[in-house]
Structure 1
């Protein structure tokens, strides 16, 4: 009979490499009451057939930090556990076949320099020197990452499991979790059944969902949303090739292919553009070390290109044609963290074919989060709370997964939009905007007008690393906001109503700014953590004595609502998501007041409706709430309209706007205006590990309040001084484009990287934001330095400023 305890501090569901890593790292922190349950044998889901590529450069600094930790961990595991991980630091080459791909690789090389990852840019001839088997026809260049490697996935998992067992964890195979007991927002235990017929219940303080491609199913049992879907993943392994010795890992993303030498054989794997979802009717109960049926027709185009690219494959027989399932998420980033729906359900699943290189770091970060109760650093890229509830919809996941597998090797262009599973969330103005030329993008499932096509212009993106086909359109929209009046849809921004007799006291506890303000006042503020880091960047409007409206970015609405709920305690207040109840149109620009006076009889003068106040107004034949705020740095109002009147209000503004030169604008123009004004972008310029004072937002924190989360950290930082500052940069050349993660050089040395970037059409060059070390230095000393930005390997001179380069005194939006 299976011998399992009846109680545990934590139960980990799933014995792949990620579950084993979580168990390993929790026990390293001293947790001994750890139980890991695996339905079949350890590694039998997807870990056993993973390619085992260990890359260290990821899309952000913190994801790179986690990947590097994985490599360091695997290096020492054998000495600790006696199980060989097979980790070899063979390096990797990525080869480009187009100029656009080469630009991407050069930008990734610059990013590697900023993140401290060794990197070397290679010419085609230098690629040939390092990889003589490669046909160089069409190769335009590439990059070499010497610290990348490859390893044995199953042995890594078994070594981690052995390390966890050695420190007291119970790792039990052939036991399936059949149910999860819940009470309110907490799980209380798991029901299990063993293959030997035994069954039982383990009461626990928390669970971790590491169930891989079963993660969605286990998530539903726990009352949580874990959006992922299995897809078929193909590779072949050749017969032994005479004379084949150790080689770097090779990626040729333009041909969707990767190559790995292993024991004198060559592996060819693929991330094809149109993937094959699998398991729509559920994964068979007997699934264990299973392969899926071969589909040579599907793989044949990849193989044909590979035989040409790697001629020795034409002579070698195929030893193995493998097809196995792996799980993919809607945005190709894995799920990590505390599930927003429950207060003790953790998630580490959906690793999108990078589970081996991510598992060590993910287990390390999650265990530290579980130990401390707060994130060890910014994990916004992978925090499971970024997923919207609807993204757990099975049909949505089926449609989106067809695309996400292939996106791993697609060109990672800036502003690239997903094309599958679109149109799920639409604002009340969606149809009207489409009629007028809107080209939609998607954020958190919302369809949002990013730019407007001119009559006869193609209404689609043409991606590039340079100026894309909508550049001039966005420039015209930008000019309209700066010189006339622009109208854009902000309905997708999250709206949380906080109401009750203790709403004021509650928000004063959570927000850095003062919430004891008159009815109608709009307050810009942050939710801070205990370290003074920024968990949310919001505006809060007092609607009545007992009600407030918290407005959040669309992508973080659920995370921000969850933060509020977890800090409500016993206070008498109710939090309600009212996002869909109101549409919002922003009327912005120096002529905004002229337009508003045409459609409303209310007094909209500066004396009657000053900046930072909201009031109800008549508009057309309807009613609206006008918020005098701006994210673009201009005079204007955000007009909140109940959903039933949105069509009418849009028609009224459009008809009146014809006489005032109103221009419909997209969110690309909004972003370019905000960066000129140095307004921060949450998730890029400000995150949970960026101190509010170092982000330059001290004006929004009122430490004379007696108590709020982060107050002590703000006071300490004021005493000890800043260690870095967020600066705004403007390139001195008009052509180069900035996006984010470009290295910042100070007096010739890399000191950081850009947190965000966009083109400043009014300022006439690309603008970036980025943190620069400043410990013990005055503002004058920081600004006296010479700054450059590394753009794809070319250093471009930049002006630096602590104050906004556009309208530094904010006279325009307050006028």
Structure 2
């Protein structure tokens, strides 16, 4: 066995095998270790479905690549992967489900995935065994279907060997040690005793420059060995196989084609043909998480006892949908572990706090995602970044606050929600509330309907105090949900009066030390602010794309307060810390970094009357001038006192109105909140949630990280030239300039349907040609029209350009506007008083 490789992949399921294949193809000396046999984990009992449907942009690309890649394996390896390209039919029993499919379809268009919509009559004509009288229609993807998981894994394994990859079976990893330049991986040879897999006395040490873990059900063991928290925990998934259905036998004997994979989403199941019978795979309620801490040594290619009572409802609904299946007996059953994460997306990317350690864990649709994960993860490792933004799958989207109990319960919920309507405005209720600001109960009493960001409860909007809970799906929609009127009123209140927004979830870091200034100057692309001033800046990837957005407040010559997106605390902290370590290792001065996110609360007060409210509370020798332009200009910071609360006030507003961010000691939050509400009463102060704020920032063309800003576009492509100082050297500069301008970020106003706004997942067209996609969407109270932001070809980014956007199956008129269509000169932000 080799004892040194460039890349070591741990785990021989479909995902690990694909990663090894793609690293080998890229020319890396790669070894794959499997503790048992290839496919012996969840791969062997997977149903092998390849659904292209996905709301996420990155995961849609991953699934699309997999489907295309698997079709090439036989030509390359000579092994048939067992790909049955029968298509995928998603049926809808409700209008809401058809709305969901329209949004799916528009997302598919942005990736280039073909689809077609079918009426119930068309479904019945093609597949007469399917009952259709209670259907509204269906969405059909003709290019996917199902595959044999073992066959595709073995084909990828052969392809990997052809690319020079070494595959070793029956070796278990028992320890990881980072030496500063490579990983020392201790491995133990596994043997068999009484049918169980047991360690032998034979051990070895493998050194590797990079390690990838793709350990599936064993992710919790991997987490312990690495000293990490990995929220990948399996959930039981059952499916049953029937005896041959005589009606299906007759259908196929007559020369008719195989049925597509059938999905009755409203009934929570998939069905496909299997040897003239049917496979039923339900996603039922109350499926339990398993292996929360470890997989028993006795569990190999094993299954759990079937629980037919738990899936009775889904079984009966299959009989309803395919009446001929009623008299067919059961031939086989499977109940095995399938790994999940709290949001259903896998964990793909660099491990937090570790160097050259990569995670590929938590795949609930592992066969579908395996091919694409190998492709894009190999790009990240070999080239430094993938061609698509992989941030939505980054393992660091869950911070150190995450526990095993949280992951297990959220994973169970995620499993249950596979076929529950995926409203873009959904808020799932498990494990909530967990992380709350001190004013949570006060906000709740005021009618706050909360969303969850990085585990924090954050008001999405404020409804009537007797409104249904924010978890009531009846209040949600793929169009304008029950919250829409409240959000519009809140947005109007900020534009015309004054509003108060809880922004306490913002990520906050304190950075100081003799090397702080030199480090930040190299780390970010904009000029550093003077003491007491702020600027907006970006840290770039080595590929020149946007890695993180920061508001930098300069507190002293070598002390800075960094504010970034609340959803990305661990993601930003890891990048910031590792970059500072590299800077110091290269001879730079000492840099001290502290995550102070939970030490500081933030209220954003904004609107034409915001100064009037604050003037009621300011304590100063001359309180009437404290907030004037002369003493407190735009884009500056001052330490002020509001009543008895010391406040680090920053004159900036994400809404584009006159306003301040009030950063305050978290233990004084309830006091400050009460003072602000009392002072604001006579000025009509309105409590405002995140959804109205999101609309308002689009009226100002403020880009948001995770939507307009990401690792697939440079700051110049995002239209942020004014925040890039090309006269200085900074990380990623040369790569950014070499990329040029491939597409441009634009703001658009939309003459869309009267009952809907875009969600930021829709395709943009110039005539019949797809030319871009939206990344954000909403409603503009300033213009009385839908609004959105997104990327188009550079030649179409000029203001006044007319395009189309796909919403609910139709094309609607779009106009590209100037940047910051509301108050383009920033006059209202700078207004004096």
Coarse TM-score class (shorter-chain normalised): over 0.9
The aligned counterpart of 1:799 is: 815
Mapped contact 1:232–1:324 kept (Cα < 8 A)? yes
The aligned counterpart of 2:368 is: 357
Matched, 1:27 2:34: no
How far apart are the structure 2 equivalents of 1:548 and 1:186? 33
Q: Which shows bigger deviation, 35-44 or 89-98?
A: 35-44
- Report the alpha carbon displacement of residue 688 of structure 1 after superposing the two structures with TM: 1.1
Matched, 1:483 2:496: yes
SS of equivalent residue, structure 1 residue 389:
coil
Matched, 1:741 2:750: no
The aligned counterpart of 2:647 is: 624
Matched, 1:429 2:468: no
- Report the alpha carbon displacement of residue 716 of structure 1 after superposing the two structures with TM: 4.7
How far apart are the structure 2 equivalents of 1:254 and 1:463? 16
Matched, 1:545 2:561: no
Q: Please, what TM-score do these two structures have when normalized by structure 1?
A: 0.95
Matched, 1:145 2:141: yes
Q: Which shows bigger deviation, 181-190 or 381-390?
A: 181-190
Q: 1:474 aligns with which of 441, 465, 487?
A: 487
- Report the alpha carbon displacement of residue 402 of structure 1 after superposing the two structures with TM: 1.8
The aligned counterpart of 1:511 is: 524
- Report the alpha carbon displacement of residue 763 of structure 1 after superposing the two structures with TM: 2.1
How far apart are the structure 1 equivalents of 2:269 and 2:422? 16
The aligned counterpart of 2:12 is: 15
- Report the alpha carbon displacement of residue 714 of structure 1 after superposing the two structures with TM: 4.7
Write out aligned runs for 1:326-405 (5 A): 326-352=338-364, 354-391=365-402, 393-405=403-415
- Report the alpha carbon displacement of residue 374 of structure 1 after superposing the two structures with TM: 2.9
Q: Which shows bigger deviation, 330-339 or 75-84?
A: 75-84
- Report the alpha carbon displacement of residue 212 of structure 1 after superposing the two structures with TM: 0.5
Mapped contact 1:739–1:757 kept (Cα < 8 A)? yes
How far apart are the structure 1 equivalents of 2:564 and 2:98? 37
Residues 714/176 of structure 1: CA separation in 2 closer, same or farther (3 Å cut): closer
How far apart are the structure 1 equivalents of 2:66 and 2:737? 36
Q: 1:755 aligns with which of 775, 794, 802?
A: 775
Cα-to-partner distance string for 1:700-724 (whole Å, 9 max, x where unaligned): 011112x10132245456xx6x342
* Structure 2 unaligned regions, length at least 5: 192-199, 253-257, 621-625
How far apart are the structure 2 equivalents of 1:487 and 1:168? 60
Q: Which shows bigger deviation, 139-148 or 788-797?
A: 788-797
The aligned counterpart of 1:243 is: 250
How far apart are the structure 2 equivalents of 1:210 and 1:629? 44
The aligned counterpart of 1:789 is: 805
How far apart are the structure 1 equivalents of 2:505 and 2:637? 19
SS of equivalent residue, structure 1 residue 390:
coil
SS of equivalent residue, structure 1 residue 634:
coil
Matched, 1:594 2:632: no
* Structure 1 unaligned regions, length at least 5: none
Matched, 1:579 2:597: yes
SS of equivalent residue, structure 2 residue 520:
helix
How far apart are the structure 2 equivalents of 1:212 and 1:552? 32
Q: Which shows bigger deviation, 800-809 or 662-671?
A: 800-809
Cα-to-partner distance string for 1:560-614 (whole Å, 9 max, x where unaligned): 2222222222131012111011111111110000001100134111111011001
- Report the alpha carbon displacement of residue 284 of structure 1 after superposing the two structures with TM: 1.3
Q: 1:672 aligns with which of 689, 692, 695?
A: 695
Matched, 1:610 2:623: no
How far apart are the structure 2 equivalents of 1:197 and 1:83? 36
- Report the alpha carbon displacement of residue 119 of structure 1 after superposing the two structures with TM: 1.0
Residues 410/368 of structure 1: CA separation in 2 closer, same or farther (3 Å cut): same
- Report the alpha carbon displacement of residue 44 of structure 1 after superposing the two structures with TM: 1.0
SS of equivalent residue, structure 1 residue 658:
helix
Matched, 1:814 2:814: no
Residues 158/714 of structure 1: CA separation in 2 closer, same or farther (3 Å cut): closer
Cα-to-partner distance string for 1:267-309 (whole Å, 9 max, x where unaligned): 1101124432122353211222111011011011110111111
Residues 655/61 of structure 1: CA separation in 2 closer, same or farther (3 Å cut): closer
Residues 538/281 of structure 1: CA separation in 2 closer, same or farther (3 Å cut): closer
How far apart are the structure 2 equivalents of 1:134 and 1:518? 69
How far apart are the structure 2 equivalents of 1:131 and 1:740? 35
How far apart are the structure 1 equivalents of 2:452 and 2:428? 7
How far apart are the structure 2 equivalents of 1:190 and 1:810? 60
Q: Which shows bigger deviation, 560-569 or 46-55?
A: 560-569
How far apart are the structure 2 equivalents of 1:91 and 1:715? 43
- Report the alpha carbon displacement of residue 30 of structure 1 after superposing the two structures with TM: 1.4
Mapped contact 1:87–1:152 kept (Cα < 8 A)? yes
Mapped contact 1:748–1:788 kept (Cα < 8 A)? no
The aligned counterpart of 1:207 is: 211
How far apart are the structure 2 equivalents of 1:281 and 1:346? 21
Residues 545/428 of structure 1: CA separation in 2 closer, same or farther (3 Å cut): farther
Write out aligned runs for 1:39-438 (5 A): 39-183=35-179, 187-195=183-191, 196-241=200-245, 242-243=249-250, 245=252, 246-280=258-292, 282-352=294-364, 354-391=365-402, 393-438=403-448
Q: Which shows bigger deviation, 436-445 or 757-766?
A: 757-766
SS of equivalent residue, structure 1 residue 797:
strand
**How many residues in Structure 1 have an aligned counterpart in Structure 2?**
800
Q: CA RMSD in A?
A: 1.8
Mapped contact 2:286–2:310 kept (Cα < 8 A)? no
Q: 1:557 aligns with which of 559, 565, 569?
A: 569
Mapped contact 2:800–2:815 kept (Cα < 8 A)? no
How far apart are the structure 2 equivalents of 1:708 and 1:321? 58
- Report the alpha carbon displacement of residue 319 of structure 1 after superposing the two structures with TM: 0.4
The aligned counterpart of 2:746 is: 727
Cα-to-partner distance string for 1:410-453 (whole Å, 9 max, x where unaligned): 11112101210122211232222122221111011111111112
Matched, 1:463 2:476: yes
SS of equivalent residue, structure 1 residue 415:
coil
- Report the alpha carbon displacement of residue 405 of structure 1 after superposing the two structures with TM: 0.6
Cα-to-partner distance string for 1:745-794 (whole Å, 9 max, x where unaligned): 2244321121111122332122111211125x7x6xx4454222111111
How far apart are the structure 2 equivalents of 1:548 and 1:739? 35
How far apart are the structure 2 equivalents of 1:375 and 1:190? 30
Cα-to-partner distance string for 1:790-810 (whole Å, 9 max, x where unaligned): 111112212221322211111
Mapped contact 1:307–1:314 kept (Cα < 8 A)? yes
Q: Which shows bigger deviation, 284-293 or 732-741?
A: 732-741
How far apart are the structure 2 equivalents of 1:75 and 1:814? 59
- Report the alpha carbon displacement of residue 200 of structure 1 after superposing the two structures with TM: 2.2
How far apart are the structure 2 equivalents of 1:260 and 1:236? 11
Q: Find runs of 4+ consecutive structure 1 residues off by over 6 angstroms.
A: none
Q: Please, what TM-score do these two structures have when normalized by structure 2?
A: 0.93
Residues 186/222 of structure 1: CA separation in 2 closer, same or farther (3 Å cut): farther
Mapped contact 1:7–1:204 kept (Cα < 8 A)? yes
